[in-house]
Amino acid sequence: MIQLKNSTEIAKIRESGKILAECLLSLDEVIKPGISTWDVDRIAHEFIKKHHAIPSCLGYCGYPAATCTSINEVVIHGIPSKKQILKEGDIISVDICVTLDGYVSDSTRTYEVGKVSDEVHKLNVVTRECLYLGIEAARKKGARLHDIGAAVFRHAFTENGYGVVRDYTGHGVGFDVHEEPSVPNYVEPMSSNLRLKPGLVLAIEPMINMGTWRIKDDRKDGWTVRTADGKPACHWEHTIAVTDHGIEVLTEL
């Protein structure tokens, strides 16, 4: 069931989103060659706690960390580790959910570690562009869910030849980490194509691969999702609200 939010509830999610945006921005100074993903997670966790909020991912369906730290060919759900050290040329997607007074926001950013290759940089730039094109599609009068997916897919695959992950999607958010509806990054004819209306709060999150769209799950840890061909992946995400005055990005400063 889709749960619409009123203006008071959206304001609460906005407060959560501000903490999350500030947390991701603060990691700019942290993510460098030589740091472990465990330290990235620790620093983000401490930032969230300092702002009297809760890292929603920690313990969610048994997930063991405050953040998801996904390096290179890992698409999503990479588990932080003291043994996993970032090196020059890596990319790392940091996915964080923040709960403040019971209200949840969700955002992801892909960071470049030192100097990356031109083709990896392009993938990162295009994935971020996909996110904002999806948001712009949601702003159009009479927009529907499929308009978001169509805009992402067009830029990622049609214009740049990248793989668009299909097994995982964006989603509703606000009262919980994952809510209805699903927000695919491509046009799925069998999925809901509801018209966007005030009260909807959505996490739009393009997951774009340099090669195939296909992925594989890590059977050892039960969480890590990698590209099937081992090529790099990027992931960008914002929480948005549909209001009477249009679209508001709740996880952007």
Average pLDDT per block of 10 residues along the chain, 253 residues long = 97 98 98 98 98 98 98 98 98 99 99 98 99 98 97 98 98 98 92 94 98 94 97 99 97 97
For residue 117, give both structure tokens.
């290759």
**Spatial distance between the Cα atoms of 119 and 121, rounded to a whole number of angstroms:** 5
Amino acid identity of 229? D
Helix-then-strand count for the chain, H and E: 4, 15
Characterize the bridge pairing of strands 170-172 and 179-183: antiparallel
- Considering only CA atoms, which of 23, 7, 9 is closest in space to residue 253? 23
Give the per-residue pLDDT at 155.
98
The reply to whether omega before 206 is within 30° of 0 (cis) is no
pLDDT at 44: 98
- Torsion (CA) 149, 152, 156, 157 in degrees, nearest 10: 30
Helix-strand-coil percent breakdown of the chain, rounded to 5? 30, 30, 40
Residue 161, judged by CB atoms within 10 A of its CB (0-12, 13-18, 19+), counts as: exposed
* CB neighbour burial string for 30-51, b if at least 16 within 10 angstroms, e if fewer: bbeeebbbbbbbbbbbebbeeb
Closest by CA to 165, choosing from 219, 232, 249, is 232
Closest CA to 100 of 2, 206, 212, 18: 18
**Per-residue pLDDT at 80:** 98
- Identify any residues that bridge with 183 across adjacent strands, giving them in sequence order: 170
The answer to whether 226 touches 74, Cβ cutoff 8 Å, is yes
Query: Would you state the pLDDT for residue 189?
Result: 86
Residues making up the annotated binding site for substrate are: 77, 178
* 236 CB-near residues (< 8 Å, 6+ apart): 108, 109, 110, 127, 128, 130, 131, 205, 206
The whole-angstrom separation of Cα 242 and Cα 157 is 27
> How far, CA to CA in Å, does 219 sit from each of 109, 162, 216?
25, 26, 9
Q: Which residues are annotated as a binding site for a divalent metal cation?
A: 95, 106, 171, 205, 237
Residues annotated in a binding site: 77, 95, 106, 171, 178, 205, 237
